[in-house]
Amino acid sequence: MRISKTKKFAVEQYLIQQELISLLNLKEGFYLYDLDRDKKKQQQILDMVPEIWKYFTHMNVTGLLYPEKCKRTWLSIIRGVFKNKYYLKYKACRLLTNQGSIFTMKYHIEPIPKSDLTDSISTSVSSDSLYDSSIELESSEKSTSLNKKIIKKQLCLTPKYLS
């Protein structure tokens, strides 16, 4: 069986994520307006594309697959890098500048709690209509997300539940 990039390159992914967090100052957040005007930071993000392509899954990142279709390729790449470990949250706001009041978005990150990653699997397994005593989910820390995905697929594919 093929090992996912998330497990195979966990250290490299963490380092790239930390580099982006420090570059964009994501702990406090950044304004989309400021980053639109900062071509240096945009270019630094785009220079990281070969590393990101190598260490991250890129099937759902439009900025990597079809950069000509994106208005802000660098923002799509940022979202793709953070989607497994962080919520990239944003809210609409007004920014006061020398040119007046500007409508923009403010982005910041929040780590995804481990419980949120497994909630969808545990709720589907615990419901009476989908529970099969022959297939049980391990609740210990040793069980991997891959095992949980396999068990979830087994639950969905058993003939008992197709009716």
Hey, what are 127's tokens? Answer: 């419901």
Longest dimension (CA), the chain: 67
* Cβ neighbours around 154 below 10 Å, total: 12
* 142 and 62 within one domain: no
User: In which domain, by residue range, is 103 found?
Assistant: 5-111
* 52 and 39 within one domain: yes
* 104 and 91 within one domain: yes
What's the domain count of the chain?
Answer: 2
* 133 and 101 within one domain: no
Give 136-160 pLDDT, tens digit per residue: 433 444 345 555 555 555 444 444 4
* 119 and 98 within one domain: no
* 118 and 147 within one domain: yes
Task: Specify the higher pLDDT residue, 150 or 57.
Answer: 57
Q: Measure the CA–CA gap between 6 and 56, rounded to whole angstroms.
A: 7
Give 13-49 pLDDT, tens digit per residue: 999 999 999 999 888 899 999 999 999 999 999 999 9
* 68 and 124 within one domain: no
Q: Is the pLDDT of residue 110 over 70?
A: yes
* 156 and 141 within one domain: yes
* 123 and 104 within one domain: no
* 104 and 60 within one domain: yes
